[in-house]
Amino acid sequence: MRLTVVLKKVIKLLMIVALFYAAARFIVVFRDSRLTGERAPYIQMLSQSSVYVRWLTKDHHVGILRFGEDPDHMPTVYVEPSSVTNHSVELTGLKPATRYYYQVGEIGHYHDFDAGKHWFYTAPQDSPATRIWVIGDSGQAGEIQQQVRDAAFEWMQKNPLLDSRKAEVIDKPMVDVWLALGDLAYRSGSNKQFQAGLFEPYEDLLSNTSLWPVYGNHDDRRWTYFRIFDLPEDAEAGGLASNTENYYAFNRSNIHFIVLDSQASNRAADADMADWLKQDLAENTKPWVVVAFHHPPYTKGSHDSDNASDSRGRMQDMRKNILPILERAGVDLVLSGHSHMYERSYLLDCAYGSSEAFSISNIVSTGVDNKNINYIKPMQAKSHQGTIYMVAGSSAKVDGGRLDHPAHYLGLMEAGSVVIDVVANRLSVRFINNKGQVRDKFSISKQAGFKSGYKGCSSDIGSLQ
């Protein structure tokens, strides 16, 4: 009897402690997630005809924004309906492929204007030349992050991507599409950490280039992420409406982009995200398809995709449940972060098990031809013709790992970022390290009438003509 009474008291005490911990945890999360302080203007969800401009002020103000095609004459003015600190203005009815300048402020006072920073370039209706910059796990502010950023910027400025139909591209930005593969703010995704890890080091680019982010595990530790980004849950930038900002799609010229949530959404093969993904891919008409999510299906870096307990099985879930959907739809390139190094696969198909189960039958092509790594696919997307998988999680930090997954052609324990150029029927990829060196380079070409010799490894591989 006495033991029962003591046990009940212990359980009651533990419950009280748990309640106090939960309350304290809630207070910390709530406090760290509040959008406080000042934040320079940045743009979001840029499309052919619209864009969001956001900024943060310490005190409540009625925000005001003016814009126009001439930096000396910005005649159109938007006034916010109420006084806020977190300002967001949507501009609509814009012309495609046009540079606009903007200036933000509050009633009676405009903030400083810099014509070299405060502008945006609306997406073109059709362009055969698109440059994509990809950063992964970039949220650790410091020297490595700055080196990776500066090295990529210098390389892109020295190697501009030109529209092959013109002698030059007037007013075209350095980066057309900017992807971030998750973990944008270490360690907890707080507002303060987002300021230090994203908004300060990338301020100049954020002011004129729309960032398309992936939800990472460190971003998920606070509530800040969805408060600072505007993401296309209603198909505002193309694709199928997902009705959530956790995962979404958008189009740019001849490329269809899909951003998935491997962190917080249900990853089952029959869950809402998978159902949306199948329908979005079925409705897509763009010849190139690029997919991004945080947890890589294949890695032997700072994380191990064979380990069921690593990341609570998220890597295995994506490999087993999501990859079959992507490969049936002929997806070309899959980008992930999470492991803090660079890894890149062969052209793969149907490798949904562990690394021990991987075999040569999963390699559609090694792509090696006279030291030039080029993978060839049919012009028209076909099921199970191969997908390249890339891990690029070293834009701010580099950790250890074996880097010996058999699916990968290459593994590098180096800091860097990825530049992708899509010109008509050719997609070229470069990994540029923090010293400005191109450490990996490959391309995918789509050719009319191409017939792969790949025989397939699955009963549902579909047409291989």
Computed over every residue of the chain, the mean pLDDT equals 92
Distance CA 110, CA 322 (A): 48
| Chain CA centroid to CA 186, Å | 16
Distance CA 253, CA 165 (A): 14
Task: Using alpha carbons, list the distances in angstroms from residue 389 to 209, 229, 409.
Answer: 26, 26, 10
pLDDT at 367: 85
Least confident of 158-162, 299-303, 369-373: 369-373
Average pLDDT in the 51-66 region? 97
**Would you give the end-to-end CA distance of the chain in angstroms?**
77
pLDDT at 281: 98
User: How confident is residue 420, by pLDDT bands cut at 50, 70 and 90?
Assistant: very high
pLDDT at 165: 45
Query: Per residue in 379-400, pLDDT tens?
Result: 887 789 999 999 999 999 999 9
Better-predicted residue by pLDDT, 3 or 292: 292
Q: Encoding tokens for residue 367?
A: 């792509």
Task: List, as one string, the DSSP characters of 154-214.
Answer: HHHHHS----TTSS--TT--S-SEEEE-S--STTT--HHHHIIIIITTTHHHHTTS-EEE-
Percent of the chain with pLDDT over 70: 90
Largest CA distance in the chain: 91
Q: What residue segments make up the domains of the chain, in order of their start?
A: 39-121, 129-447
Superfamily name and number for 129-447: Metallo-dependent phosphatases (3.60.21.10)
Q: Is the pLDDT of residue 169 over 50?
A: no
Better-predicted residue by pLDDT, 32 or 370: 32
User: How confident is residue 460, by pLDDT bands cut at 50, 70 and 90?
Assistant: very low
**Which one-letter amino acid corresponds to residue 33?**
S
Query: Per residue in 99-130, pLDDT tens?
Result: 999 999 999 899 999 999 999 999 999 887 99
User: How confident is residue 13, by pLDDT bands cut at 50, 70 and 90?
Assistant: confident
Average pLDDT in the 456-461 region? 54
User: How confident is residue 23, by pLDDT bands cut at 50, 70 and 90?
Assistant: low
pLDDT at 117: 96
Query: Per residue in 430-442, pLDDT tens?
Result: 999 999 999 999 9
Distance CA 306, CA 290 (A): 24
User: How confident is residue 318, by pLDDT bands cut at 50, 70 and 90?
Assistant: very high
Distance CA 388, CA 167 (A): 32
pLDDT at 33: 78
pLDDT at 463: 33
User: How confident is residue 26, by pLDDT bands cut at 50, 70 and 90?
Assistant: low
Q: Which helix (H) or strand (E) holds 225?
A: helix 225-228
Using CB atoms within 10 A of its CB, is residue 99 exposed (0-12), middle (13-18) or buried (19+)?
Answer: middle
Q: Is the pLDDT of residue 167 over 60?
A: no
**Cβ-based neighbour number of residue 462 at 10 Å:** 15
Q: Which CATH class for the 39-121 domain?
A: mainly beta
Q: Is the pLDDT of residue 14 over 80?
A: no
User: How confident is residue 353, by pLDDT bands cut at 50, 70 and 90?
Assistant: very high
Q: Give pTM, 2 decimals.
A: 0.93
